[in-house]
Amino acid sequence: MRPDDFRYALPPDLIAQVPLPRRSASRLLTLDGATGAWTDRWVRDLPALLEPGDLLVFNDTRVVPARVHGVKPTGGRVEMLLERAAGGRQAWVQLRASKGFREGTSVRTAGGAVRVLAREDDLWLVELPQETHAFFEAHGETPLPPYIDRAPDAGDRERYQTIFARERGAVAAPTASLHFDAELLAALEARGVARAFVTLHVGAGTFQPVRAATLQAHRMHAERVTVSQAVCAALAQARASGRRVVAVGTTVARALESAAANGVPAPFEGDTRLFIHPGYRFRAVDALLTNFHLPESTLLIMVSAFAGREHVLAAYAHAVRARYRFFSYGDAMFVTPAPAARARETHA
């Protein structure tokens, strides 16, 4: 398959530029991957879509204020976006300027000089004036996605962060979790829905398009994942009870499927480059809560692998007609899998 098999038309005015005042007030489009049927609902209806004992799995990563501005010795302006820490004072970043960079270049920032060390593909290894996260926390701004056409404001520091964010390291929010507030979590708890947390530090590569001619030729960006023994035990308990494992976001789906690479979820800590595209058989995830994604993106391709490309694109066409709000600050979908997406082990 080709990236343009996942293209759809989106009016620019449907791209959400600001969040709703209330997190759980978004709309929710449910999609049955077996039949392609959809229903218009609300995020606050989520407890009614779940059964007691179902397991919601969240990503507890915390977004770093990952964008820093600087100036080259020539006076040219530089924008630096953290991709991931590399240990100590070193980090992998994206650099943007009117002219290119060379190894050894020094960039002046409000926090001191940043030295450019080396390049690997689209990323640069830099040395910072202090430890990576401390530097960006002190001098960075909220890294709103490129399709949000405004500067970040003070409210984004809190709103572009989940209410249970705790493990610092992401440069983009796990946006499906942005819909959860204390009221919704209380309703889920009253319903008897269980919850667990994994960590996947979302990198800036999540916004990059598939540049290869075919999906098979695409090399996925690396992201850091932690799936604990306790999470694996919760997954096993849900399955043994005949309940579903619901991934809250594509980041959670990617983390759980990375942990289940050998067929059964096992504790996992390390980088994943897993690229889930049609033909993949899901081993750990039974349902998916997710936002709407960019055309031809790896995230849209993953959702299509789960529920079927034709079903997903038809649901997106409906969402456009019904004027859903798209992308990070937009509305959500609750998706169940197409039969072809399920691994044999999950048929029970």
Q: pLDDT for 251-285, tens place per residue?
A: 999 999 999 999 999 999 999 999 999 999 999 99
Residues 6+ away with beta carbon under 8 Å from 182: 163
Strand partners, 39: 30
Domains and CATH numbers, the chain: 3-63+157-346 (3.40.1780.10), 67-139 (2.40.10)
Residues 175-182 have a mean pLDDT of: 98
CB 142 within 8 A of CB 328: no
Q: What is the pTM of this model?
A: 0.93
Predicted pLDDT at 79: 94
Closest CA to 305 of 286, 272, 280: 280
Angle, helices 298-307/250-259, rounded to nearest 10 degrees = 70
pLDDT tens readout for residues 39-80: 999 999 999 999 999 999 999 999 999 999 999 998 999 999
192: left (phi over 0), alpha (psi -120 to 50) or beta: left
Q: Report d(CA 32, CA 30) in Å as an integer.
A: 7
